[in-house]
Amino acid sequence: MTSPKRLSQELASSLVRRLKERDERALEELYDVLAPWVLGVAYRILQDEDEAEEVVADVFVQVWRHVDQHDTRRGPLVPWVLSIARNRALDMLRRRRRWWRKGERLKQAQASEPMKAEGEGEVAHESSVPGWPVHREVHAALAELPEEQRRVVTLSYFEGLSHREIAQRTNQPLGTVKTRLRMAHQKLAERLRHLKDWLA
Amino acid sequence: MTDWLGMVATPRTPRPELKGRVLERARTRRRRWPLAVAALLVVGAGGAAWWAKRTIDQLTVERARLATRATALEDTVSTFIHGGGTELLQIPVSTGGRVGSVTIFADSVGHRWLVRCDGLAPNARDQTYQLWFITETGMMTAALMPMDQDRPMVMALEMPGGNVRVMGAAMSIEPRAGSASPSGPVVFHRML
């Protein structure tokens, strides 16, 4: 496995500092590196290219305007940006009341594109984007989870379902869902502990 | 650590024009005036809502008042018209060169009169029609009926109390404030 390129603490701090200083070049750099991933998250949730691009625009504008809210001591920059993307995409999903339709599309998409690995289809084409090694690591960590844990994580993260909604969707007791999520998070945390940040 | 889960999604290449759009939006300083406009709109809407509610409340009260009054009037008229002791007097009159009429429903049981005037000429500014009860002891004022507009007038009157016997009715044109006894031109004079 190729080791992901890391973003040193100094470099991450420098990028954040430049953003805070309103250095537009820093925003461009961040966009060049992260836009494909932000779009990937948004598209995965929304299954709609136009809506996903709208989310991308919202995310980077929010990062630009609210970078002061990011504390490098509390976490890396990339997960912070991705969490904004996720939240925005889920908001859009809920706001437009296309929940069920998106759910159906998501199921179809997942059925036709189940956990692709590097070298398959468009993934091979995208493998040149920065951050790809991290993608592989996170992908592998998720793939290593038992199916039932992976499913609850996916429902929680990409569909934004509450524990109760996941229990209804999977026909499992609420306690079981909570246990599976807790165990999955523990395993992911252990597996991805070494990740700090990355940049090409 | 689930924050990294976003990296599971397959990356997608944004359309080239998206970058320009994002940077342009980021460069655009957020304008505060839309907030101010929104606040003004909210305040305006609130004021309008308050005014509308106040007006509706006032109109509701007025409607209730008029409905009560109409019901009372209807009741009064019905009592006059259908009462067993009601006597009807229809008196043709001529005022200001025009012909009209005064109709009196005299309710001897309820000791009330209902008077309706039609076709009376409007009064001069300093004058009024004054209706009189004709009693055994003389003329007693019944009502002042200033006519500023050319339209019918209806009014209910209580007849004099005590042992005063009303024998007829009369109407004259008097100064605006009314007179203690008839002094102006007589419009009609009719005994019951």
Identify from B7, B17, B28, B30 which residue to disrupt to test chain A contact, counting A C-beta atoms within 10 A and taking the largest count: B7
Tell whether the model's pLDDT for residue A11 goes beyond 80: no
Could you report how far apart the first and last alpha carbons of chain B are, in Å? 106
CA distance A79 to chain B (A): 5
What residue ranges in A29-186 does DSSP mark as E strands?
A: none
Cα–Cα distance between B102 and B116 in angstroms, integer?
6
Asked if A132 and A126 touch (Cβ cutoff 8 Å), the reply is yes
Main-chain dihedrals φ then ψ at residue A106, nearest 5 degrees:
-65, -45
Predicted confidence band of residue B22 (pLDDT cuts 50, 70, 90): confident
Cα–Cα distance between A55 and A12 in angstroms, integer?
23
pLDDT at A200: 39
Nearest to A194 by CA among A147, A123, A134: A134
Cα–Cα distance between B109 and B126 in angstroms, integer?
36
Locus of tokens 């509308």: B52
pLDDT at B26: 82
> Which residues of chain A neighbour B29 with C-beta distances below 8 Å?
none
The reply to whether residue B2 touches residue A188, judged by beta carbons under 8 angstroms, is: yes
pLDDT at B46: 92
pLDDT at A124: 42
pLDDT at A85: 93
CA distance A173 to chain B (A): 23
pLDDT digits (tens, 9 = 90+) for B43-72: 999 999 999 999 999 999 999 899 888 888
pLDDT at B143: 92
pLDDT digits (tens, 9 = 90+) for B73-126: 777 777 766 767 778 888 999 888 888 999 988 887 778 888 889 989 999 989
Determine what percent of chain A is predicted with pLDDT higher than 90. Answer: 27
If you average pLDDT over residues B5-23, what whole number do you get? 87
The answer to whether the predicted template modeling score (pTM) of the entire model surpasses 0.80 is no
Q: Which residues of chain B approach chain A closer than 8 Å at the C-beta?
A: 1-15, 18-19, 21-23, 25-27, 30
If you average pLDDT over residues A53-70, what whole number do you get? 90
Q: Which residue has the higher pLDDT, B8 or B31?
A: B8
ipTM for the whole complex: 0.71
pLDDT digits (tens, 9 = 90+) for A128-172: 666 777 888 888 888 899 999 999 998 988 888 889 999 999 999
